[in-house]
Amino acid sequence: NNVVRVAIQALSAVLGGTQSLHTNGYDEALSLPTAEAATLALRTQQIIAHEAGVIETADPLAGSYAIEALTDEIERRAYELMDAVESMGGAVAAIESGFMQDQIAETAYRWEEAVDSGERVIVGVNYQREEDEAGVPLHHIDRDLVQRQIDRTTHYKAERASPEVDNVLARVSAAASATDNLLPVMREALLAGATLGQICNALRAEWGEYRPVG
């Protein structure tokens, strides 16, 4: 079912004039996509691009009353939310008050409630469900490969010039605590042999980690 959903979503995005498109694998709700699922997702884009003919027109849905009505409704609701956020003092204040999180949680709750009641039909979930439907093969991470990568990284960090790395990581921290452009010093850190994890740790030490508010 997800294969069909992804195809419809991708076509909708193209008809809407998207500048960038990603198609999910049918198994991504359960795990990292398998090679087969990722290939099928790619083929979905390629078929739309090279077989469907929809890319031959810049805006195939231009003038559609239904699309214009939906656009107007989305715009109206978006401005209502923006006005609400502005009245609270801006986005930061809205986050700190828990408004953003409450909106997300409330929307998720309403969605689940609509699915549970059958108001929102999800084929295969609350409509035409097959109890004995076969599951899909999932991608499994090779634990031996994970351990080999951990060992490789540990060995790499032990063999490189530690003082130089420490110095450049200190500069990353200093830049993060100020208003400096981080890209140049992060590039220096990578060229000096710092790992991505070490750079993230330096940033985390200055900025902390995201914690939901409310």
Structural domain includes residue 126 = no
Q: What is the mean pLDDT of residues 147-172?
A: 92
Structural domain includes residue 95 = no
- Quick check: 59 pLDDT over 80? yes
Range of the domain at 46: 1-52
pLDDT value, residue 212: 67
Final residue in a domain of this structure, among 9, 30, 52: 52
Q: What is the mean pLDDT of residues 8-35?
A: 92
Total domain count for the chain? 2
- Quick check: 50 pLDDT over 90? yes
Final residue in a domain of this structure, among 34, 52, 70: 52
Structural domain includes residue 83 = no
Spell out the residues 6+ positions from residue 27 whose beta carbon is closer than 8 angstroms to its own.
2, 33, 34, 37, 136, 137, 138, 139
Q: What is the mean pLDDT of residues 6-20?
A: 93
Cβ 43 vs Cβ 37: under 8 Å:
no
Question: What's the angle, vertex CA 106, arms to CA 100 and CA 107, rounded to 5?
Answer: 90
Structural domain includes residue 120 = no
Structural domain includes residue 198 = yes
Computed over every residue of the chain, the mean pLDDT equals: 92
Q: What is the pLDDT of residues 78-112, one digit of tens each?
A: 999 999 999 999 999 999 899 999 999 999 999 99
Residues of the chain with pLDDT > 90: what percent? 72
Structural domain includes residue 159 = yes
Q: Give the whole-angstrom CA distance, residue 7 versus residue 48.
A: 8
Final residue in a domain of this structure, among 52, 73, 91: 52
Structural domain includes residue 69 = no
Confidence of residue 213 (pLDDT cuts 50, 70, 90): low
Structural domain includes residue 108 = no
